[in-house]
Amino acid sequence: MSHENAKQQDLARATTDERAPMSTNQGQPVGDDQNSLKAGGRGPTLLEDFLLREKLQHFDHERIPERVVHARGAAAHGFFEVYDDSLSEFTTAQVLTDPSLKTPVFVRFSTVAGSRGSADTARDVRGFAVKMYTPQGNWDLVGNNIPVFFIQDAIKFPDLIHAAKAEPHNEIPQAATAHDTFWDFISLTPEAMHMIMWVMSDRAIPRSYALMDGFGVHTFRLVNAEGVAHFVKYHWKPKHGAHSLVWDEALKLAGADPDFHRKDLWESIEAGNCPEWELAVQIFDEATAAQFDFDILDATKIVPEDLVPLRRVGRMVLDRNPDNFFAETEQVAFMTTNIVPGMDFTEDPLLQGRNFSYLDTQLSRLGSPNFSELPINRPLACVANHQRDAHMRHTINKGRVAYAPASLDGHDPAATGAADGFHSHAVALEGRKLRERSPSFADHYGQAKLFWNSQTAVERAHIAKALSFELSKVATREVRVRMLDHLQQINPVLAAQVGRALGETAGDSAAAVPPSAASDKADEIAIFASAVSPTSASGRLQSTRGLSLLDGSQPASAAGRKVAVLAAPGSDASQILSLRSALSCAGAQAMVVGPHLGPLTGEIAAMATFANSSSVLFDAVFVPGGAPGVQQLTEIGEARRFLDEAYRHGKPIGVLAEGRALLAATQLGTLSGLTATAASGSSGSPAATLEAQGVLIADGSDVATAVDRFVATLARHRFPDRPLAAQIAA
């Protein structure tokens, strides 16, 4: 039986057929589970009613503790395959070296701080946990969408999480770091500054799980057949690029659709737009590591891609949704200790502490050391050892030998384990036992600056905005001021701009400009425009590729995007059909939004209404022609707002033929001087100016070309520096 078939069968065995005649958990047929057994029609209920007892008892115990962190998550099944055997130079792990292997995977994405029921779009790190059911046992790469961490030593983890979670006296705020205890801890923890730059960047508000990077974070080891070890960093690169929301959109989405990311993952897979990532590795030896000006054991540091380029070695596709959220997504137990022969840990003190924590937490969450027998956790590789019993044991071990060495019943007392079994790499160790931080972990600002320097002006402006937002929610002034001191060490203009938002003087205050609520005000972007040379006079790296999302390095792709088509009775159905087929070819989807559900025009029906949806649920907005339809839309405030809000959030907008009149009726139309009927496209006209900002206005003479241009614009994701965005109230 193939590896994959075995897994499928394994999971199938664990399901029950809900359409079969009802029975108790003991298999007794049930005749009526809607009425309890009573003495007489009006009761009382009888103690002998085992059907009632069992049903209520099971219900009363349905809940298990949620994860202390990463409680809110969504997951999917899929597979991983390497492109070739080129990594066999570095490792004996079959999963990384055998291209004939299609390794089943289960991947769970999550936010960190919020509880199970919190909103998906909170500003937060995203968990990116991959379980691979390899022939050599399970390999879990329990990473995040950010390549560094807040702290260097696991002993600080409980403090970090207690500070970040809702405050313990009133459980406020939910799924948010914008509060005193978090920033108090951070302001007293300089090692967190690099991570803070990432968390305040747009990385912490991804567009979807499918459109974000993943990282193993720590430096790990790969070990080859000769026992030679190399260091490795793992990266997941999304096939369709890494893209983000904007903050105002993320805030609104938390109300409009708290399941935004979860639903996107589910619906993409159902629609056959399967999320896909490439696995990339950075591999380097001890001598190379010794030359870096940071310690590769320090999880607050990246290995810049300008120092060690990425090598793309395989791909992972998520192509099947879970059958049952609890049995799979909730009960899956990831553990950093799950590695396979040919891999090893490093002495990173954060990783070492994690290796205690994950095994431990499964006991309190899942209730028994037999959690590894749950279908979602069970390896495909054979399990054979002398561990026995404990709560909820499923395996029925045969025979009397549960010990080693043993000579009874055919056991070989000389057998001490598989020859190709796991061997820890023989790392040379020396030194005294001590409780202190290595001096090589001491630089807390160097890579925070590297990250800042590697961002575009728009991204820097977003970081300044995020810090201003978060710190403005901190009630204790000393904490705010302490943070400004840290920012000053990273970049004086950043410190000054955040200082201005907080009513403090800090950094290069001459450069600061009045802050606005909108994310992309031109003068706020302009102050961050200064470029930095890639290396300093002393040869130190000052910026590097791989850190910016807006430097043009992301692949152009419209796959997985959702477009709102605003329509009403009388809208041009053929234009909508053209758009729909062009989008579907690009792996994107059109959803018609109208004044009511159901048939609107021709064969077009509305799947959403202005009352139940808004522009934040979509990546772009399109308005077809058809004078009577457009006329109706111009009279609907929400329709006009759809366009204004989409413009403010940098989203592509397309209007065709008479659809232009709706755009002309918006705030954007007024501010840009766009009229309902003027000829489009002449240079210097409002339409030409808007086109450069991703707002396409076409006259309807060539629908096919107009639609193709719109899809190409959609593939660019966002147009973040729109000059009129700050003036639009939406």
As annotated, the active-site residues are: 70, 144
Tell me how far, at minimum, the Cβ of 235 lies from ligand HDD, in Å.
Answer: 13
- Is residue 318 involved in binding ligand HDD (CB under 6 A)? no
- Is residue 152 involved in binding ligand HDD (CB under 6 A)? no
Tell me how far, at minimum, the Cβ of 435 lies from ligand HDD, in Å.
Answer: 16
Three-state DSSP class for residue 697: strand
Nearer to ligand HDD, 325 or 358 (CB): 358
Nearer to ligand HDD, 299 or 656 (CB): 299
CB 725 within 8 A of CB 521: yes
Of residues 353, 369, 587, 723, which one binds ligand HDD by CB under 6 A? 353
User: At a CB cut-off of 8 Å and minimum separation 6, what does 266 contact?
Assistant: 74, 321
The token duo for 595 is: 């004044």
- Altogether, the residues listed in the chain come to a count of 730
Nearer to ligand HDD, 364 or 581 (CB): 364
Tell me how far, at minimum, the Cβ of 372 lies from ligand HDD, in Å.
Answer: 13
What's the CA gap between 575 and 584, in Å, rounded? 14
CB 305 within 8 A of CB 545: yes
Nearer to ligand HDD, 298 or 645 (CB): 298
Of residues 78, 114, 127, 446, which one binds ligand HDD by CB under 6 A? 127
Three-state DSSP class for residue 612: coil
CB 333 within 8 A of CB 372: yes
Which segments of 91-234 does DSSP mark as H helices, in order?
94-97, 157-164, 180-187, 193-199
- Is residue 114 involved in binding ligand HDD (CB under 6 A)? no
Measured CA distances, 156 to 151, 216, 236, 354 (Å): 7, 20, 27, 11
- Is residue 131 involved in binding ligand HDD (CB under 6 A)? no
578 to 617: interface string for ligand HDD, x by CB under 6 A? ----------------------------------------
Of residues 350, 501, 606, 730, which one binds ligand HDD by CB under 6 A? 350
Tell me how far, at minimum, the Cβ of 666 lies from ligand HDD, in Å.
Answer: 42
- Is residue 376 involved in binding ligand HDD (CB under 6 A)? no
Candidate ranges 149-157, 167-175, 337-345, 647-655; the one touching ligand HDD (CB under 6 A)? 149-157
Three-state DSSP class for residue 601: strand
- Is residue 561 involved in binding ligand HDD (CB under 6 A)? no
Question: Alpha-carbon torsion 358, 190, 171, 147, what sign?
Answer: negative
Please identify which residue in the block is written with the tokens 């329709």: 639
Buried/exposed 292-326: b ≥16 CB within 10 Å, e otherwise:
bebbbbbbbbbbbbbebebeebbbbbbebbbeeee
- Is residue 262 involved in binding ligand HDD (CB under 6 A)? no
CB 342 within 8 A of CB 224: yes
DSSP code for 330: I
Nearer to ligand HDD, 8 or 361 (CB): 361
Candidate ranges 63-71, 440-448, 548-556, 674-682; the one touching ligand HDD (CB under 6 A)? 63-71
Nearer to ligand HDD, 131 or 500 (CB): 131
Tell me how far, at minimum, the Cβ of 62 lies from ligand HDD, in Å.
Answer: 19
SS3 content of the chain, % helix, strand, coil (to 5): 35, 15, 50
Of residues 7, 67, 315, 561, which one binds ligand HDD by CB under 6 A? 67
Of residues 354, 378, 465, 722, which one binds ligand HDD by CB under 6 A? 354
Measured at CB, which residue is nearest to ligand HDD? 127
What's the CA gap between 171 and 173, in Å, rounded? 6
Candidate ranges 142-150, 240-248, 285-293, 618-626; the one touching ligand HDD (CB under 6 A)? 142-150
Cα–Cα nearest to 115, from 104, 102, 124: 124
Candidate ranges 68-76, 94-102, 473-481, 618-626; the one touching ligand HDD (CB under 6 A)? 68-76
Distance between alpha carbon 539 and the CA centroid of its chain, in Å? 35
Candidate ranges 1-9, 64-72, 409-417, 651-659; the one touching ligand HDD (CB under 6 A)? 64-72
Cα–Cα nearest to 513, from 726, 215, 693, 713: 726
DSSP code for 66: P
- Is residue 139 involved in binding ligand HDD (CB under 6 A)? no
- Is residue 138 involved in binding ligand HDD (CB under 6 A)? no
Nearer to ligand HDD, 91 or 331 (CB): 331
Of residues 7, 73, 91, 548, which one binds ligand HDD by CB under 6 A? 73
Candidate ranges 80-88, 350-358, 533-541, 648-656; the one touching ligand HDD (CB under 6 A)? 350-358
Tell me how far, at minimum, the Cβ of 114 lies from ligand HDD, in Å.
Answer: 13
Tell me how far, at minimum, the Cβ of 148 lies from ligand HDD, in Å.
Answer: 8
Tell me how far, at minimum, the Cβ of 154 lies from ligand HDD, in Å.
Answer: 4
- Is residue 129 involved in binding ligand HDD (CB under 6 A)? yes
Other beta carbons less than 10 A from residue 184's beta carbon: 17
The token duo for 268 is: 């993409």
Buried/exposed 464-491: b ≥16 CB within 10 Å, e otherwise:
bbbbbbbbeebeeeebbebbbebbbebb
Candidate ranges 166-174, 243-251, 356-364, 471-479; the one touching ligand HDD (CB under 6 A)? 356-364
Amino acid, single-letter form, for residue 326: F
Of residues 143, 341, 507, 700, which one binds ligand HDD by CB under 6 A? 143
- Is residue 110 involved in binding ligand HDD (CB under 6 A)? yes
Three-state DSSP class for residue 599: strand
User: At a CB cut-off of 8 Å and minimum separation 6, what does 530 contact?
Assistant: 493
Of residues 134, 144, 189, 453, which one binds ligand HDD by CB under 6 A? 144
Angle between helices 477-490 and 457-472 (to 10 degrees): 160
- Is residue 68 involved in binding ligand HDD (CB under 6 A)? yes
CB 621 within 8 A of CB 615: yes
Tell me how far, at minimum, the Cβ of 217 lies from ligand HDD, in Å.
Answer: 4
Which segments of 247-406 does DSSP mark as H helices, in order?
247-256, 260-270, 286-291, 349-366
- Is residue 334 involved in binding ligand HDD (CB under 6 A)? yes
User: At a CB cut-off of 8 Å and minimum separation 6, what does 22 contact?
Assistant: 29, 30, 33
- Is residue 352 involved in binding ligand HDD (CB under 6 A)? no
- For the segment 194-233, give every residue that binds ligand HDD (CB under 6 A): 217-218
Q: For binding to ligand HDD (CB under 6 A), which residues are involved? A: 67-70, 73, 108, 110, 127, 129, 142-144, 149, 154, 157, 217-218, 299, 332, 334, 350, 353-354, 357-358, 361
